[in-house]
Amino acid sequence: MGQKLILWAAANGNEGVMGLLLERKELGPDMPEDKGRTPLSHAAAKGHEAVVTLLRDSENVNPGSPDKEDQTPLSFAARNEHAGVMKLLMQRDGVNADMPDKKGRTLLSWPLRRDMVGW
């Protein structure tokens, strides 16, 4: 039940609930769901900067943790054009901006695919 709450708080950007859940040592803030995506990946994909910061700063979270397709929180932020989240993630050791996913896409693949400018 606790893991589902962490995933819910991450996906919905609920900073207050996430803060309370992170205080409970028995809960795993880096535990992936069925696709291998961690709460940090869900928060990064949705652009929830406050929750990303809480998770990024947690000692029990690997900020570069890949899912089953080798997509990381950073790649989810890039794919969804969340530059603020990308900056937050790059401030932590353990984030590899050059790691390709299983389809060979890297961090720069996403803006190039969308012809994004202003980065």
Tens-digit pLDDT profile for residues 55-93: 999 989 999 999 999 999 999 999 999 999 999 999 998
User: Which tens digits make up the pLDDT trace of 28-51?
Assistant: 899 999 999 999 999 999 999 999
| CA distance linking residue 67 with residue 16, whole number of Å | 26
State in words which class domain 2-114 has.
Answer: mainly alpha
- Domain residue limits, the chain: 2-114
Better-scored residue on pLDDT, 99 or 12:
12
CA 16 from chain centre, in angstroms, equals 18
Global pTM? 0.89
